[in-house]
Amino acid sequence: MVSTIGILGAGRVGSAIARTALTAGYTVHIAGSGPAADIQLIVDIVTPGAVAMTAADAVATADLVILAVPLHKYRSVDPATLAGKIVIDTMNYWQPIDGDLHEFTGDARSSSEVVGDYFPGARLVKTLNHIGYHDLEADARPAGDPERHGLALAGDPETAAVVAEVINRFGFDPVYAGSLAAGAAFEPGSPIFGGRHTARELLIELGPAVAEAA
Ligand SMILES: NC(=O)c1ccc[n+]([C@@H]2O[C@H](COP(=O)([O-])OP(=O)(O)OC[C@H]3O[C@@H](n4cnc5c(N)ncnc54)[C@H](OP(=O)(O)O)[C@@H]3O)[C@@H](O)[C@H]2O)c1
C-alpha cells in the first residue's frame, strides 16, 4: 500500500501534485535537484505539509516516486536509486522547453519507453502527464461525481493497478490504456493531451481494444 509519495521536481507540476497528494492524505517528500535547504522556503509556502529532502532521500523513503522534472533533465536522476520502485512518469517532450532531443524525435516508441531504458529497474507507469498542473487540484472530484474526469495510465498491469488507486484518491477515474507503449496515445499532440475527459470519453479516445478490455 502506498502511504509516502516521493516527488522529484518542486516546480509547477511537482508542487501541484504535492498539494493534491497531501489533500488525499499521503505523506509527501519532495526534492529539487539540490540540497533540501534550496527548496525549503518554497515548500513551506507553496506545499505546506510536504517535507523537503534531497532527491536520494525522497526516493529512498517513498513507496511511490513521481518524476516531475523537465524531460531534458531525466538523466540527472540516478537510475540506481529507482531500482525496484514504483515510478510515475509525468514527463512530456516539449520542444520549446526541452530543445531538440533526438533520442525522442528519432525513436518511434512512446517517450516513457525511451525513459524506461534509462531506468531499467524501475516499475514505470505513465500518467498525470496529460493534465495541466493548474487543473489538477481544480478538477479533482470525489468518486461517483458525474463531473469527475479520467486520467489515462500506461505500464505493466500490476504496477498500474497500484498507481490507479493513487489516481483515484487524487480525485480522478484511472483508465488503464495498456503497456508503456500505449502512453503514446496521450502524449503531446494527441487528442487526449491537455483536454478534459470523463473516463468513458477517454476509453473512446484510447480505442476499441482498450474499451473492450475494460
Ligand atoms: N506544466 C504542466 O502543466 C505539465 C503537465 C504535465 C506534465 N508536465 C511535465 O512535468 C515535468 C515538470 O514540468 P514543470 O512545468 O513542473 O517544470 P518546472 O516548473 O521547470 O520544474 C522542474 C523541477 O524539476 C527539478 N529538477 C530538475 N532536475 C532534477 C533532479 N535530478 N532531481 C530532482 N528535481 C529535479 C527542478 O529543480 P531545480 O530548480 O533545482 O533544477 C524543478 O524543481 C516536465 O517533464 C513536463 O513535461 C508538465
Beta bridge partners of 66: 7, 88
Give the whole-angstrom CA distance, residue 143 versus residue 152: 16
Domain range enclosing 133: 4-213
**Sequence-distant (≥ 6) Cβ neighbours of residue 132 within 8 angstroms:** 194
Give the whole-angstrom CA distance, residue 200 versus residue 155: 20
Write out the chain's pLDDT in tens, 214 residues.
999 999 999 999 999 999 999 999 999 999 999 999 999 999 999 999 999 999 999 999 999 999 999 999 999 999 999 999 999 999 999 999 999 999 999 999 999 999 999 999 999 999 999 999 999 999 999 999 999 999 999 999 999 999 999 999 999 999 999 999 999 999 999 999 999 999 999 999 998 667 555 5
CA angle 50, 48, 5 (to 5 degrees): 20
Ligand 1 mutation pick, 33, 72, 170, 193, max ligand atoms within 8 A of CB: 33
Residue 94 belongs to domain with CATH number: 3.40.50.720
Q: Are 89 and 64 in contact (CB under 8 A)?
A: no
Residue in 80, 20, 90 with CA at minimum distance from that of residue 50: 20
Ligand 1 mutation pick, 7, 13, 54, 93, max ligand atoms within 8 A of CB: 13
Domain count, the chain: 1
Strand extents, DSSP E, the chain: 4-8, 27-31, 51-52, 64-67, 86-89, 123-126, 150-155, 173-178
CB of 194 within 6 A of ligand 1: the answer is no
